[in-house]
């Protein structure tokens, strides 16, 4: 079983060479499912969404897409306040349902907001009731469960961008106590995999890099997750200007991420 995790494509500020090379590499990887952890666009414009949709369609794989803070209409303040994700849903609603492939189930959670009463509206926010509804889904004891959203619940240890997700600590504790063992996020533009341990339990938090020109401390990148023989192997694929080179982030037990190989 193979999952490709993308995030922060930022169409409108995308890196065309990286996007073309990523499409070719993903075709070679032949993933069973693709997860995009938010920020399909840069300003939430129709032409950016159209370009993003065309690129996703060309990959021709089962795909789960969750919104990011950049997927709201940046310059339309009325829409940002009243219906911030109308455009995103219009283009990607058919990619919003949980993906169930083999013994894997991946759910999506929207942590982005069009507007918030704080200085940095781009920060994430978790509706705990919505999260609990997802975590309470009965997927079967043998199912490996994952959750995709845009904002990390806890700020990734090595990322230069520190995050302050509203109700993130409570969400992290709920997730750690749940049957969901993996959280797939973006936002920080830095590939990273880290075991998050709470008093309630633990889970594996995996962040994907960006395929845009909006780089921070890492090159353009995307992740691949391979699950076989009870092991979850996580690679990031770093763009060297021409091709993507794999780099191991770690190997964990697929159902019990507390155990690292």
What CATH number does the domain containing 35 carry?
Answer: 3.60.21.10
Instruction: Give 187: exposed, middle or buried? Use CB within 10 Å, 0-12, 13-18, 19+.
Output: buried
pLDDT at 55: 98
35, part of any domain = yes
Instruction: Give 214: exposed, middle or buried? Use CB within 10 Å, 0-12, 13-18, 19+.
Output: middle
CA pair distance 247, 236, nearest whole angstrom: 5
259, part of any domain = no
Neighbours of 28 (CB within 10 A): 7
Task: Output the pTM of the full model.
Answer: 0.93
Find where tokens 């969750």 sit. 66
pLDDT at 261: 43
Beta-carbon contacts of 99 under 8 Å, excluding residues fewer than 6 positions away, are: 33, 35, 62, 63, 64, 105, 106
Provide block-wise average pLDDT over 10 residues at a time, the chain (261 residues): 97 97 98 98 96 98 96 67 81 96 96 68 89 93 94 88 90 97 96 96 97 91 95 97 96 73 43
74, part of any domain = yes
Structurally, how many domains does the chain consist of?
A: 1
260, part of any domain = no
For the record, the structure tokens of 134 come out as 């997802």
Residue 18 belongs to what domain range?
2-253
Beta-carbon contacts of 198 under 8 Å, excluding residues fewer than 6 positions away, are: 172, 173, 176, 177
pLDDT at 140: 83
pLDDT at 44: 93
261, part of any domain = no
């Amino acid at each position: 079983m193979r999952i490709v995790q993308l995030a922060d494509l930022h169409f409108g500020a995308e890196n065309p060479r990286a996007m073309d090379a990523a499409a070719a590499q993903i075709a070679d990887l032949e993933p069973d499912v693709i997860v995009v952890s938010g920020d399909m666009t840069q300003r939430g414009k129709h032409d950016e969404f159209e370009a993003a949709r065309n690129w996703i369609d060309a990959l021709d794989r089962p795909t789960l897409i969750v919104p990011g803070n950049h997927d709201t209409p940046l310059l339309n303040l009325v829409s940002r306040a009243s219906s911030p994700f109308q455009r995103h849903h219009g283009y990607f609603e058919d990619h919003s349902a949980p993906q169930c492939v083999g013994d894997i189930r991946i759910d999506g959670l929207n942590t982005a907001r069009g507007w918030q009463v704080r200085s940095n509206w781009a920060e994430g926010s978790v509706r705990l009731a919505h999260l609990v509804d997802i975590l309470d889904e009965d997927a079967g004891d043998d199912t490996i469960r994952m959750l995709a959203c845009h904002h990390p619940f806890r700020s990734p240890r090595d990322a230069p961008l520190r995050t302050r997700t509203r109700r993130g600590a409570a969400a992290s504790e709920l997730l750690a106590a749940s049957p969901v063992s993996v959280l797939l996020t973006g936002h920080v533009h830095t590939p990273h995999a880290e075991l998050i341990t709470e008093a309630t339990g633990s889970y594996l938090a995996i962040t994907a890099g960006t395929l845009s020109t909006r780089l921070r401390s890492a090159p353009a990148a995307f992740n691949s997750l391979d699950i076989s023989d009870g092991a979850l192997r996580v690679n990031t694929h770093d763009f060297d200007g021409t091709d993507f080179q794999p780099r191991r982030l770690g190997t964990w037990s697929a159902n019990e991420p507390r155990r690292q190989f």
